Chain A
Amino acid sequence: MDQNVTQPLVTVRNCRQSYHKEASADLVVLDDVDLTLNEGEIVALLGRSGSGKSTLLRIVSGLLKPTSGDVRWRGEPLRGPAPGVAMVFQSFALFPWLTVQENVELGLEALGVKKDERDERSEEAIDLIGLGGYDTAYPKELSGGMRQRVGLARALVVHPDLLLMDEPFSALDVLTAETLRTDLIDLWMDKKLPVKSILIVTHNIEEAVLMADRILVFSSNPGRVAHELKVPFAHPRNRFDPAFRQMVDDIYGIMTRRAPKEVHVPAAAVPSGFATPLHPVSTNLISGLIETLYGAPYQGRADLPALAAALQYEVDDLLPLGETLQLLGFAALEEGDLILSDIGKKFADAETEDRKEIFTEQLRANVPLVNAIRTVIDQRSNHRASAVRFRDELEDHMSPEYADETLRAVISWGRYAEIFEYDEEAQQFGLEEEDEEEEA
């Protein structure tokens, strides 16, 4: 037993997760990731969606086998879900046909625990997590916060050494999420939680700084650990403490920093524009953000954490939006700030029709994929082109999800800019009728 004290709970070395693709190279989701988890600490994996942090969580839980790399649980190679690990899910993952108590007892049943002990332990977990009196309720009768408490109780009842949490509060409203976080931290500080360590996946910067002792910041595409930070503050932490704010600001800076150039694909692929993933952000949102940036109090420059707070956006909502503005030349992201460009200002001043024109210009100039599509349409005698072919080409450069998002973005922007039409039913690009006549 003694040697366990010094031994880390989990070690992950050189972990790599990729999906094999037929035509091109493998799609790398996680690349060369190392992770060590010791007893007594809360570690946060922080990153944007698609950065592979949830994949890493599943690898640590034993649900998923990495393509390569060494994963050890208490020094032993991990082969399947370990008995000392329990997970809390973003979607709660409660069984709607089981009562609160039956849901909580699930893990105990799997362990073959006798009824008396099951009752006792589930009662204990239910009371600890503040669900007393709800034993016989069904999940659908509960609010989101109460449901996640059930999820927590279900994980704690098996007395796991490691508690894994996959964006546990992101499906909850702001106030509920805050209450749950505080309750969890209080229990952790009072040493009332029957766990030795917590690994939490999140895309919420403040949440990570608020809860974790250590934060691993992930970069996307492929997922890598870009930074590791120790959080030096003692619990309970104050969000309005200047040092806290500074740390949040710093992490924003890290997350908006452009990826090093070497990540980019070979130059030959660039001109066609197939290699850049796009976010399907609606044109209304683009206009809205430009207007907001242009007006008071930002006057063309906004601090991202402040902007996120004002708009009630999570990083995952705001960063794609900011990046899209940057991509289209309307704004620039610099060290955690979003700065409107001259074109952005011109756009904000313009009327509806002129805005469309500016947008079209910027789209044509900065998104080569739109031009590529238009070129193919023009080359065809019937002025139609299948979307499937573009999706396939995109998938040579990115994951199917990214390819799908990119295509959706291009379709929506191209339609707005009236560069082409799109027939959803036939999945075909085409031209507007007057355009077609002109061409003919």
Chain B
Amino acid sequence: MTNYTPTALAGRRLPNRWDGVALLLVMGLLIALVDVGRGTISTSIATIQNSPIHLDPAYLPYYALRSTARMFAALFFSLLFTLTYATLAAKSRRAGMVLIPILDILQSVPILGFLTFTTVFFLGLFPGKVLGAELASVFVIFTSQAWNMAFSFYQSLTTLPNDLQEASRCFRLSPWQKFWRLDVPFAMPGLVWNTMLSMSGGWFFVVASEAVTVGNTTFTLPGIGSYVATALEQENLRAIFYAIIAMLVLILLYDQLLFRPLVAWSAKFRFETTATATGPEPWMLKVLRRTALFQDIGDFLGGIMRSLTRLRLALPARTQIDENQEPSKLVDGFWFICIALVAAYAGYRIVTFVSGTLHWSDVGTAVLMGGFTLLRVMVLMAIAALIWVPIGVWIGLRPKATRIAQPIAQFLAAFPANLLFPPVVLAIVYFHVMPDIWLTPLMLIGTQWYVLFNVIAGAAAFPGDMKEAVANFHIRGWLWWRKVMIPGILPYFITGALTASGGAWNASIVAEVASWGSTNLAAHGLGAYIAQATAAGDTPRVVLGVVVMSCFVIFINRILWRPLYAYATRRTTLG
């Protein structure tokens, strides 16, 4: 399986002023959403007709279909966003200066923290309509998918091979033709891989975004997520069990019908000059490729696509590069002033929004809560490493075991962990143990698999001749781990750990508070802080919590994971 550097690991290392500007802009935008939402809310938004959720398992296929439809709607918007936003950022230097830091911040902002803002906004746009709630839910899923897709596309666009660019210009392809002939195909493997990761991660948010309570507004949209929420409310353990089964089937279908065929298909676009041995063709791809009917459909769609992309749609464009032409300082200066003004205004709005209700002590509380959550994440990562590194290495060094275990780990990573919360919550209630400790593992249930499958990939990629050399010199035991295996898998492990810890922060918003019927459990932490503020409709505290959490995530990415990753790749690769 190919591994791509997670987008959060690439690029600039130290926080700089652009991060500050971007953070201001993102938060300002969120507050503006709330304002617009509020402004249009004249009628009570609580009047959405909530169709009751039936716990009869016969309804589950329909609910699953609705959830899947939301996922694909979000995917459509994510793709649209990716192709436009990333292109703009890559083609325009000035736009890129602002857009990329914003993207960087966005991918560190806890997605579930958006719920408040987007719910208010979309419900405000369509007062009293289900459409508003649907859009709010789709938007949450979109925010869980779009950023890393856009980042991956942007990175591809900035690393386009020079000779192919020259060839496109020399043969005078129009920008539109070049986009479809060069840009998109070149970005395809990374984009498909990130899209699939996004979708895997997206199930979590599908489940989380269907039943939402913001202040006194509650909506439940037909889907697996609200099915579970209703089951929790009614203390129906059997229904939760049904939901888990339905989700397993759904993920299995998604994995077999979409994920594997798409990833295998995208290998065609991999930019390499030698034909590499590829794994067996996924059965679904085989069906698509060998069945006459599917082939006809494919040819038909491909034909339309091709004739569209072949259009010139030429705009007058500069094709001759003038290396002596320097960007105009005047326009640059004007641009910087514009950005500074907008950022200052955003900062002003944030301050006025927050200062009315918040004091400095609130910031202290939020940071302290962040500290608790940080401690949890760190302890969990350590435990996960201790458990999964030996297991992953054991599996990775055995090709047969890898073939069996790797798809299972990827499959488990896609499974929305929030469906597994209820049994744990039930156990905590039953045994009367401390939620501060026992709610913690929930944060990592879903994302630990990233550690496992990256470690497996790392161990499997360990060079054969080095394995032989190690055996030849009789290197064993602790020395083997210290000098051979740990350095060998380090970049892979860091990739997995970053994804897992980022996911854990996000999950804390749903994992640090839990309820079973009328029993509510809450741990101390920033996730619980945001969740409680959301439930209370206390938007300033949500903003504060989201900002603090974003800062924690950005800070840890920048001072821990990125340097570690850069170090690991530099030190553990030859040449």
Which of the candidate stretches B70-78, B317-325, B507-515 sits at the interface with the other chain?
Answer: B317-325
Q: Are the CB atoms of B164 and A81 closer together than 8 Å?
A: no
A55 to B174, CA, bound (A): 24
Which one of A81, A86, A141 lies within 8 Å of B319 (CB-CB)?
A81
Q: Does B54 contact A (CB under 8 A)?
A: no
Asked if A63 and B170 sit within 8 Å, CB to CB, the answer is yes
List B contacts of A158 (CB < 8 A): 171
- A112-B324 contact, Cβ under 8 Å, with A86-B171, A87-B166, A425-B570: no
Q: Cβ of B172 < 8 Å from any Cβ of A?
A: yes
Stretch of A102-110, A209-217, A341-349, A393-401 lying at the B interface: A102-110
Residues of B within 8 A of A107 (CB): 171-172
- Which one of B25-33, B244-252, B271-279 is at the interface? B271-279
In the complex, chain B residues whose CB is within 8 Å of the CB of A406: none
Judge whether B182 is part of the interface by a CB distance below 8 angstroms.
Answer: yes
Contacts of B272 in A (CB 8 A): 96, 140
Residue from B169, B182, B188 in contact with A63 in the complex, judged by beta carbons closer than 8 Å: B169
Q: Is A20 within 8 A of B170, CB to CB?
A: no
Name which residue of chain A comes closest to B189, CB basis.
A97
Point out the residues of chain B lying under 8 angstroms from A425, CB to CB.
570
Are the CB atoms of B172 and A109 closer together than 8 Å?
Answer: no
A97–B271 CA distance with the chains assembled, in angstroms: 8
**Smallest CB gap from A140: residue in B:** B275
Considering the complex, give the chain B residue whose CB is closest to the CB of A108. B171
Using CB atoms, name the residue of chain B closest to A26.
B324
Provide the residues of chain A in CB contact with B274, threshold 8 Å.
140
| B468 located at the interface, meaning its Cβ lies under 8 Å from any Cβ of chain A in the complex | no
Residues of A within 8 A of B169 (CB): 63, 81
Set A79, A86, A95: member contacting B181, Cβ < 8 A = A95
Among A58, A86, A97, A112, the residue within 8 A (CB) of B269 is A97
- Range of interface residues on B (Cβ < 8 Å): 35 or more
Contacting pair A140 B273 (CB below 8 A): yes
Using Cβ atoms and an 8 Å threshold, which residues of chain B touch A141?
A: 275
B residues near A95, Cβ cutoff 8 Å: 164, 181-182, 185
Interface residues of B in 171-224 (CB under 8 A from A): 171-174, 177, 181-182, 185, 188
B303-336 interface bits toward A, Cβ cutoff 8 Å, 1 = contact, 0 = none:
0000000101000001111111010000000000
Contact partners of A96 in chain B: CB under 8 A: 269-273
The reply to whether A93 and B167 form a contact with Cβ atoms under 8 Å apart is: yes
Contact A111 B172 (CB under 8 A): yes
User: Of B163, B268, B269, which is in contact with the most chain A CB atoms at under 10 Å from its CB?
Assistant: B163
Task: Say whether A134 faces chain B, with CB atoms less than 8 Å apart.
Answer: no
Kindly state the separation between the CA atoms of A90 and B272 in the bound complex, as whole angstroms: 16
Task: Fill in one digit per residue for A155-176: 1 if any B CB lies within 8 Å of its CB, else 0.
Answer: 0001000000000000000000
Q: Give the secondary structure class of B's interface.
A: loop
Query: Whole-angstrom distance between the alpha carbons of A98 and B271 in the complex?
Result: 11
A59 — nearest CB in chain B belongs to which residue? B320
Whether A80 pairs with B177 at a CB distance below 8 angstroms is: no
Q: Is the CB of B172 within 8 A of A81?
A: yes
Known: A65-B321, A85-B170, A89-B166. Is A20-B269 also a contact (CB below 8 A)? no
Contacts of A89 in B (CB 8 A): 163, 166-167
Q: Is the CB of A20 within 8 A of B326?
A: yes
A93-B164, A95-B185, A425-B570 are contacts. A81–B323 as well, Cβ < 8 Å? no
Q: Flag whether A11 is at the interface (Cβ < 8 A).
A: no
CB distance from B329 to the nearest CB of A (A): 13
A93/B172 contact (C-beta < 8 A), A67-B324, A140-B274 known: no
Residue of A nearest to B570 (CB): A425
Q: Which residues of B contact A87 (CB under 8 A)?
A: 166-167, 170
A67, B320: Cα distance in complex, Å: 12
- Verify A81–B570 contact, CB threshold 8 A: no
Establish whether residues B171 and A106, one from each chain, have CB atoms under 8 Å apart when the complex forms.
yes
Residue of A nearest to B273 (CB): A140
Q: Tell me, in angstroms, the Cα distance from A83 to B172 when the chains sit together.
A: 8
- A62 touching B320, Cβ below 8 Å: yes
Considering the complex, give the chain A residue whose CB is closest to the CB of B319. Answer: A80
Say whether A110 contacts B171, CB under 8 Å. Answer: yes
Give Cα A83 to B319, complex, Å: 12
Q: For the complex, what is the distance from the CA of A85 to the CA of B166, rounded to whole Å? A: 13
Q: Within residues 269 to 313 of chain B, which ones have a CB less than 8 A from any CB in chain A?
A: 269-275, 310, 312
Check if A109 sits within 8 Å of B310, measured CB to CB: yes
Chain A nearest CB from B180 CB (Å) reads 11
B-facing residues in A42-77 (Cβ within 8 Å): 58, 61-65, 67
Contact B181 A106 (CB under 8 A): yes
Q: How far is the CA of A81 from the CA of B321 in the complex (A)?
A: 10
Give every chain A residue within 8 A of B318 (Cβ-Cβ).
80
Tell yes or no: A412 within 8 A of B by CB: no
CB distance from A125 to the nearest CB of B (A): 13
CA distance A61 to B168 in the complex (A): 13
- Do residues B185 and A97 form an inter-chain contact, with CB atoms below 8 A? yes
Contact of A61 with B164 in the complex, beta carbons under 8 Å = no
Q: Does A366 contact B (CB under 8 A)?
A: no
A-B contact pairs, 22 of them (CB 8 A): A20-B326, A62-B319, A63-B170, A63-B320, A64-B320, A64-B321, A65-B321, A65-B322, A81-B171, A81-B172, A85-B170, A91-B163, A93-B167, A96-B271, A97-B185, A97-B188, A106-B181, A107-B172, A109-B177, A110-B171, A138-B268, A140-B275
- Other than A18-B324, A20-B324, A85-B170, give 20 A-B pairs with Cβ distance below 8 A: A19-B323, A19-B324, A20-B326, A61-B170, A62-B320, A65-B320, A81-B171, A81-B320, A83-B172, A87-B170, A91-B163, A92-B163, A93-B164, A96-B271, A98-B181, A109-B173, A109-B310, A110-B172, A110-B177, A141-B275
- Mark B residues whose CB is within 8 Å of A: 161, 163-164, 166-167, 169-174, 177, 181-182, 185, 188, 268-275, 310, 312, 318-324, 326, 570
7 A-B pairs with least C-beta separation: A93-B163, A107-B171, A65-B322, A93-B167, A80-B320, A80-B319, A97-B185
